Amino acid sequence: MGHGHHHHDHPHDAAGTDVPAAQDLSVPDGELSPSDVSRRGFLRGAGLLGAGAAASVLATPAAAAAGLPHAHGPAGGGTAKGGFRWLAGDHHIHTQHSSDGQYRVIDQAGHGHAYGLDWLVITDHGSNAHARIGVEKVNPDIQATRSALPELLTFQGLEWNIPAAEHATVFVHPGRNEVAVLKQFEQTYDGSQLPATNTEAQNEAMAIAGIKFLGEQVKARKVDGALFLANHPARRGIDSPHEIRNWRDADPSVAIGMEGAPGHQAAGIKAPNGRGGARGLYDNNPAAASFPGYPLEAYRTWGGFDWMTATVGGLWDSLLAEGRAWWVTVNSDSHVNYLDQSERGPGSDFEANGRYNDPVYTPTVNTGAGDFWPGFYGRTNVGATSFSYRAVMDGLRAGRVWVDHGRLVKTVDARVRVAGDRRRSSGTPLGGVLHVRRGTATELTLEIDLQDLPNWAQFVPVLSRVDVIVGTVTGPVASRDAFTAPDTRVVKSFEVSRGSSRLSVTYPLGRLDKPFYLRLRGTDGRRTQPGLLGAAIDPAGPKLDVIGDADPWGDLWFYTNPIWVLPR
């Protein structure tokens, strides 16, 4: 029996189940019957809607059906693959409304769209001026951008100073309350607005309260969605493992993940052609507030990626081995862009006006800037069921995400299946959970369209190798500050033939005897070394980036989010 709504011609999930319309997030609210609207509201209010609505995939058998193909709404940008429309985006972008930014919203959006983005989030820094007037002042610019560039989805958000921790992207679904919700959130929970006398414990509690506040705004229907992603999580070593777990547990429909790779990637370009600094501006050392357990290597990027993501068997894998749905993204963190020829408008008074004046031309080429324009280097590719704000947020929440630098590949479609099942409609996609009986043989099917167009540095990237990383799901950890997963390792590497146009792989995963997850990683193969936890775990991982000599274009990687295989 079908949904009963109109205008749809779409297959259902691989198991042949028929998802009720109220639970099918690809069906817009406006197409539901009044009773289904009520039902969906109840489910949302109870935190039971969406694949990301539980802290652990161990508790969500229905997540196996996460994200199956529908075709709602108007056609947008992106690339169709595996039943989804993959929409490239960037959730971390600053403008003249940031104390350290300079560009207009339309400048960032226009460049991002020109460089291939389908969605982006404006995330000016939380600060006194921003909390007082900035959230309101940027909104008309965002509204104007939505009108000027309807083929680009432009979200409003902010970069939250997480109390007791680093920064985070926070953004909401567009709507009449987006400014009010963001402003109340920033004024109440931003670290810049809290008493300096707060203890660390008080601040950690405020961070949890802030995430819960966002979830409550969704449940109260003030906004249709709110998401949190931790930014540059290992940069200063102050995002401790227990804080990350606490954020996720505070509201798993809001706190969904972290930057797998930070922005500021141009900062590593060697002088005199570039800044000659650290990729991602990861040039810190442990300080008093840093988590004491982190090694020194955590304070640098590895192949441009954050240590938490790049270390096989490290912190990210520790979370995944617990069954925690915790996703990774990449973005630009664009403030002032490499090789640009503009500067802040003269006569600006940021504290008084909450913004800098419009930028002006300068004849000087800025080789000291550490940022790329949005879309120029990093992409977060989201498997969406339509071109819409809601579909992007749902795709992020469900973890249907792969990321790359320098447009290393064109498309990625990874699925785990019952062995031998070749139906095009079957298979569990990225972020999903496949539940099968113990003893069932499963396999990974992977299709990657290799790049045949030049990236924005004007060369065609060449994928050299793809690694399959597998870890045992061991359930909740004894210590919430755990950050290793001893059973996780690279189990298979596929070399890519030069001149190929596509990599098609079927990899047997054996008969299920214990719950596990897998994730994928690919590289141009130009800079590798054994992983931090040893060659037996990761024989050819990313190389530790060297400050002053870390060319982002000479070291490209892609990463996917995981897929779990669990016994029924």
Residue 216 maps to a domain: yes
Same domain, 366 and 445: no
At 8 the pLDDT is: 34
At 11 the pLDDT is: 30
Same domain, 245 and 342: yes
Same domain, 287 and 369: yes
Residue 7 maps to a domain: no
- Tell me if 345 sits within 8 A of 359, measured CB to CB: yes
Same domain, 193 and 243: yes
3-state secondary structure of 264: coil
- Give the domain CATH number at 238: 3.20.20
Residue 333 maps to a domain: yes
Residue 24 maps to a domain: no
> Packing angle between helix 135-148 and helix 178-189, nearest 10 degrees?
150
Please state, in angstroms and rounded to a whole number, the distance separating the CA atoms of residues 187 and 482. 33
Same domain, 426 and 305: no
Q: Any idea of the CA torsion for 530, 534, 536, 537, to the nearest 10 degrees?
A: -90
Residue ending a domain, choose from 357, 392, 427: 392
Number of domains in the chain: 2
Which residue has tokens 């192949």? Answer: 303
N- to C-terminal Cα separation, the chain: 25
Same domain, 382 and 452: no
Please state, in angstroms and rounded to a whole number, the distance separating the CA atoms of residues 119 and 109. 9
Same domain, 489 and 378: no
Same domain, 267 and 388: yes
At 543 the pLDDT is: 98
Instruction: Compute φ and ψ for 30, nearest 5 degrees.
Output: -65, -15
At 58 the pLDDT is: 81
Same domain, 364 and 487: no
Residue 20 maps to a domain: no
DSSP string, 426-492: -SB-TT-EEEE-TT-EEEEEEEEEEP-S--TTSS-----EEEEEEEE---S-SSTT----TT-EEEE
Same domain, 318 and 377: yes
The total number of residues written for the chain in this structure:
568
3-state secondary structure of 188: helix
- The angle formed by the CA atoms of residues 97, 98 and 99, to the nearest 5 degrees, is 120
Same domain, 381 and 429: no
Residue 52 maps to a domain: no
* Beta strands across the sheet bearing 502-511: 409-418, 441-450, 502-511
3-state secondary structure of 259: strand
Residue 368 maps to a domain: yes
Range list of β-strands (E), 126-237 = 153-161, 167-172, 226-230
Q: Give strand pairing partners of 124.
A: 158
3-state secondary structure of 212: helix
At 560 the pLDDT is: 98
At 17 the pLDDT is: 31
Same domain, 371 and 481: no
Find the domain containing 440 and state its range. 408-567
Residue ending a domain, choose from 360, 392, 424: 392
3-state secondary structure of 524: coil
From first to last of the 568 residues of the chain, give the pLDDT tens digit: 333 333 333 333 323 233 455 555 656 666 676 666 665 565 554 344 544 445 688 875 433 333 333 333 334 567 777 789 999 999 999 999 999 999 999 999 999 999 999 999 999 999 999 999 999 999 999 999 999 999 999 999 999 999 999 999 999 999 999 999 999 999 999 999 999 999 999 999 999 999 999 999 999 999 999 999 999 999 999 999 999 999 999 999 999 999 999 999 999 999 999 999 999 999 999 999 999 999 999 999 999 999 999 999 999 999 999 999 999 999 999 999 999 999 999 999 999 999 999 999 999 999 999 999 999 999 999 999 999 999 999 999 999 999 999 999 999 999 999 999 988 778 999 999 999 999 999 999 999 999 999 999 999 999 999 999 999 999 999 999 999 999 999 999 999 998 899 999 999 999 999 999 999 999 999 999 999 999 999 999 999 999 999 999 999 999 999 999 999 9
Residue ending a domain, choose from 338, 361, 392: 392
Q: Give strand pairing partners of 523.
A: 465, 557
Residue 36 maps to a domain: no
- Give the domain CATH number at 545: 2.60.40
